[in-house]
Amino acid sequence: MFVDSGVFNWVILPLLIYIARITDVTLGTMRIISLSRGLRKIAPILGFFEMIIWLLAIRQIFNHLNNPACYLAFAGGFATGVYTGMYIEHKMAMGLRLIRIITRYDSSNLIRILREEGYGLTIIDAEGNQGQVKIIFTLVKRRDLPRVLNYVRENNPNAFYTVEDVRSAAQGIFPTNGIQNSLWSNFLRYEKKAK
């Protein structure tokens, strides 16, 4: 059974281009994020497949220059691929975050909860514009960030906190919540040793 050339040119080919663009831009987004996280071994692999797929898509565009549906599919696939790449990266929750919590009020309950949950803490007594404060530093896996911020809001709602991206870290205390056995965490451990 053969597909009508009109259906192929105006429906199937643009759909294939759209899917190819989603895939190559998603890989590109993941490659850039991997580079920013210091994952040097995975970035070239993602880049290789990204370029192969891009070449296949762009070849079809040049073979069908008179087909505006292909142009729309190419651009639409790019936009969707950017979103898809960010969504996947968000779900994978790669990397570490440094949380700096500054509180003027009693933070003993917050400190106790974070320690019971297994988070490593560094606590400094300091002085702010309005008197004595405690500065609490903790390094968390990105997937744990919402949980830790929830503890801060529940136990010290007026605390000032900042969250920073951490490119790399040595040592540290992290809760054991099962992530150590995942494929992705094993890869990250391999990447860390390779450095």
Q: What is the pLDDT of residue 183?
A: 42
Residue stretches of the chain with pLDDT short of 50? 178-187, 190, 192, 194
- Phi, psi (rounded to 5 degrees) for 140: -130, 155
Q: What is the pLDDT of residue 41?
A: 87
Q: What is the pLDDT of residue 5?
A: 82
Which two tokens mark 85? Answer: 């790449």
CATH number, domain 96-194, options 3.30.70.120, 2.130.10.10, 3.40.50.10860, 3.20.20.10: 3.30.70.120
Q: Which residues are paired to 124 by β-bridges? A: 135
- The whole-angstrom separation of Cα 26 and Cα 43 is 13
Q: Per-residue pLDDT tens for 75-97?
A: 999 999 999 998 988 888 777 89
Q: What is the pLDDT of residue 166?
A: 83
- DSSP output for the chain: -PPPHHHIIIIIHHHHHHHHHHHHHHHHHHHHHHHHTT-TTHHHHHHHHHHHHHHHHHHHHHHTTT-HHHHHHHHHHHHHHHHHHHHHHHHHT-SEEEEEEEESS--HHHHHHHHHTT---EEEEEEETTEEEEEEEEEEEGGGHHHHHHHHHHH-TT-EEEEEEES---S-----SSGGGSHHHHHHHHHHHH-
Q: What is the pLDDT of residue 90?
A: 80
The domain limits of the chain are: 5-92, 96-194
Q: Per-residue pLDDT tens for 157-169?
A: 999 999 998 877 7
Give the side-chain half-sphere CA count within 13 A for 18.
13
Q: How far is CA 177 from CA 109, 118, 163, in A?
A: 22, 10, 21
Q: What is the pLDDT of residue 73?
A: 96
